Structures are given as structure tokens and as C-alpha cells.
Amino acid sequence: MAALESKLRERQAHLREELRGERADSESERDRRSAREVQDRGDEANTGQWREANAAVIDHHEVEIQGIQAALSRLASGTYGMCVDCGEPIGFSRLQAWPLANRCVACQSKAEGG
């Protein structure tokens, strides 16, 4: 479990760094836009698409960071690796592949409607 905790903490640090960069890029783009008086429709459309993509990346990183924090909380409480639905252990290979997993394969399949 120590290796998984280390993997979670490394991923969390990496995501936080990327999030800082994405937010800084977003702010600098906003500053560039406000500094320009005239902008053609093509520039405006490209800027809008970039903003939407940047916002999606930021949202994805924030959700993953929340998942990591939840996994670290489960580690601290001793419930990490136990399925939140059935209480059975989650397979170690599943945790290695996706350390944020909070359900066993069977319960995850049911949760996804399978």
C-alpha cells in the first residue's frame, strides 16, 4: 500500500503543478485579450475554443485531485482498497492500474449499468 500511496501523492503533486500552469495560461490569455482593442471574428472564435478546452482540462484536473484526496483519506482511515458498495477487497491489480478505484470490478460494472 505504501507504493500506491506514493503513486497517489506524486500524481497529486503533478496535477497541482499542471493546474497552476493551466490557470496561469488562462489568466495571461485573458490579459492579452483585454489589451487588444480590435479582434476579428476568427480570432474571437479561436480564443473561445481555446478557453473551452482550457476550462475542460482544469475541470478534469480538479476532479482527479478530489479523487486522489478521497483515496488518501481512505488510506488514512484504513478503508482504502475496500469496495464502497459491497465491502469486499478491490483487487490489487485494479488498484495498481487505477489507484482511485473505490469499487471492485463487479460493483463498478453494476454502477455503470452493466
**Cα separation of 31 and 17, whole Å?**
21
Written as one letter, the residue type at 33 is R
Q: Where are the domains of the chain?
A: 2-80, 81-114
Q: Look at residues 107, 81, 109 and name the one whose alpha carbon lies nearest to residue 95.
A: 81
* CA angle 7–73–65, rounded 5-degree value: 55
Give the CB-side neighbour count of residue 79, counting CA atoms within 13 A: 12
pLDDT level of residue 37 (50, 70, 90 thresholds): very low
Q: For 1-114, where are the alpha helices, taking DSSP H only? A: 2-35, 41-77, 92-97, 105-111
How much is the CA Rg of the chain, to the nearest whole Å? 20
For the chain, give the mean pLDDT: 87
Q: pTM to 2 decimals?
A: 0.76
Per DSSP, the three-state class of 82 is strand
pLDDT digits (tens, 9 = 90+) for 68-108: 999 999 999 999 999 999 999 999 999 999 999 999 999 99
Residue 89 backbone dihedrals phi, psi, to 5 degrees: -65, 140
